[in-house]
Structure 1
Amino acid sequence: MSGLRDFLKVYWPLVVIAFAGVLLALVLMDPAPPKTIRFAAGSPGGAYHAFAERYQRLLAEEGVEVVLVETQGSIDNLRLLGDSEAEVGLVQGGLSTARDEDMLRSIGGLFPEPFWVFVRTDLPAETLGDLRTVRMAVGGDGSGTRMLAIELESDYGGKWNSTSRLPLSGNAAADALLADEVDAAAFSASIEASYVDRLLNSSKVRLLRFDRAPALARRHEALSDIVLLRGVVDIGQDVPAADIPLVAPVAQLVVRKDLHPAIEALLIDAATAIHSQGTLLAPAGQYPDPDLIDLPISDQARRYY
Structure 2
Amino acid sequence: MAKKDRFKEQLRRALRRDLWIVLVPSILLVGAAFAVTLYFIKPAPPKTLVLAAAQDEGGFNYFARRYKDILARHGVTLEIRGTKGSRTSLDLLAQEQSGVDVAFVQSGSSAGSDKGSDTAARIVSLGGLTHIPLWIFYRGEPIDDVRGLGGKRIAVGSIESGTYALALTLLKANGVEKAPTELLSLERDDALARLKRGELDAVFLVAAAEAPFLQKLAAEPGLRLLSFARGEAYVRRYPYLSRLVLPRGVLNLAADVPERDVVLLAPTANLVARDSLHPALAYLLLRAASEVHGGPGLLDRAGEFPTALVADPPLSSEARRYYQSGTPFLQRYLPFWAANLVDRLWLMLVPIIAVLVPLGRAVPALYQWRVRSRIFRWYARLKEIEIQLEESPERSQLEEMLKRLDEAEHAVNHIPIPLAYAENLYFFREHIDIVRRRIVRRLTGSSEAPAVGVSLVI
Q: Which of 59, 66, 89 is residue 78 of structure 2 equivalent to? A: 66
Query: Which residue matches 2:60?
Result: 48
Q: Cα deviations across residues 181-231 of structure 1 (Å, max 9, x unaligned)?
A: 211100122223444343123233110110100011101122121111112
Provide the rounded CA distance (Å) in 1 between the counterparts of 2:165 and 2:43.
40
Q: Secondary structure at the match of 2:248?
A: coil
Q: Cα deviations across residues 249-281 of structure 1 (Å, max 9, x unaligned)?
A: 111101111011111111011000000102111
Q: Secondary structure at the match of 1:165?
A: strand
Count of matched residue positions in the alignment of Structure 1 and Structure 2: 304
Q: Cα deviations across residues 97-153 of structure 1 (Å, max 9, x unaligned)?
A: 354662111111111121211012x44544211211111100122321112112111
Q: Secondary structure at the match of 2:127?
A: strand
Provide the rounded CA distance (Å) in 2 between the counterparts of 1:260 and 1:37.
10
Unaligned runs of 5+ in 1: none
Provide the rounded CA distance (Å) in 2 between the counterparts of 1:227 and 1:2.
87
Judged with a 3 Å threshold, the aligned counterparts in structure 2 of structure 1 residues 87 and 20 are, in CA distance, closer, same or farther, namely same
Judged with a 3 Å threshold, the aligned counterparts in structure 2 of structure 1 residues 45 and 95 are, in CA distance, closer, same or farther, namely closer
Query: Which residue matches 2:37?
Result: 25
Report the aligned-residue RMSD.
Answer: 2.0
Aligned residues of 2:144 and 2:229 also touching (Cα < 8 A): no
Query: Which residue matches 2:106?
Result: 92
User: 1:159, CA displacement in angstroms?
Assistant: 6.0
Q: Which of 296, 301, 304 is residue 319 of structure 2 equivalent to? A: 301
Q: Which of 115, 132, 136 is residue 117 of structure 1 equivalent to? A: 136
Judged with a 3 Å threshold, the aligned counterparts in structure 2 of structure 1 residues 176 and 229 are, in CA distance, closer, same or farther, namely same
What is the TM-score when the length of structure 1 is the normalising length? Answer: 0.92
Provide the rounded CA distance (Å) in 1 between the counterparts of 2:177 and 2:74.
53
Q: Secondary structure at the match of 2:109?
A: coil
Provide the rounded CA distance (Å) in 2 between the counterparts of 1:299 and 1:68.
25
Query: Which residue matches 2:123?
Result: 104
Query: Which residue matches 1:82?
Result: 94
User: 1:155, CA displacement in angstroms?
Assistant: 2.4
Q: Cα deviations across residues 44-79 of structure 1 (Å, max 9, x unaligned)?
A: 586111111111111111111111111011101101
Question: Percentage identity across aligned positions?
Answer: 38
**1:164 and 2:169 aligned:** no
Query: Which residue matches 2:305?
Result: 287
Greater RCO (Cα-Cα under 8 Å, separation 6 or more): 1
Q: Secondary structure at the match of 1:185?
A: strand
Judged with a 3 Å threshold, the aligned counterparts in structure 2 of structure 1 residues 59 and 244 are, in CA distance, closer, same or farther, namely same
Provide the rounded CA distance (Å) in 2 between the counterparts of 1:31 and 1:64.
15
Unaligned runs of 5+ in 2: 1-12, 324-458
What is the TM-score when the length of structure 2 is the normalising length? Answer: 0.63
Query: Which residue matches 2:284?
Result: 266
User: 1:17, CA displacement in angstroms?
Assistant: 2.2
Q: Return the letter of the residue paired with 1:108.
A: G
Query: Which residue matches 2:431?
Result: none
Question: Comparing both structures, which one devotes a greater share of its residues to helix?
Answer: 2
Aligned residues of 1:101 and 1:295 also touching (Cα < 8 A): no
Provide the rounded CA distance (Å) in 2 between the counterparts of 1:139 and 1:71.
13
**1:34 and 2:46 aligned:** yes
Query: Which residue matches 1:143?
Result: 161
Provide the rounded CA distance (Å) in 2 between the counterparts of 1:193 and 1:170.
13
Aligned residues of 1:44 and 1:50 also touching (Cα < 8 A): no
Provide the rounded CA distance (Å) in 2 between the counterparts of 1:94 and 1:12.
60
Query: Which residue matches 1:192?
Result: 210
Provide the rounded CA distance (Å) in 2 between the counterparts of 1:218 and 1:124.
25
Provide the rounded CA distance (Å) in 2 between the counterparts of 1:186 and 1:64.
36
Q: Which has the larger radius of gyration?
A: 2
Provide the rounded CA distance (Å) in 2 between the counterparts of 1:162 and 1:64.
52
Aligned residues of 2:108 and 2:165 also touching (Cα < 8 A): no
Q: Return the letter of the residue paired with 2:50.
A: R
Q: Secondary structure at the match of 1:68?
A: strand
Aligned residues of 1:250 and 1:292 also touching (Cα < 8 A): no
Question: Comparing both structures, which one devotes a greater share of its residues to strand?
Answer: 1
Provide the rounded CA distance (Å) in 2 between the counterparts of 1:206 and 1:155.
22
**1:223 and 2:241 aligned:** yes
**1:132 and 2:156 aligned:** no
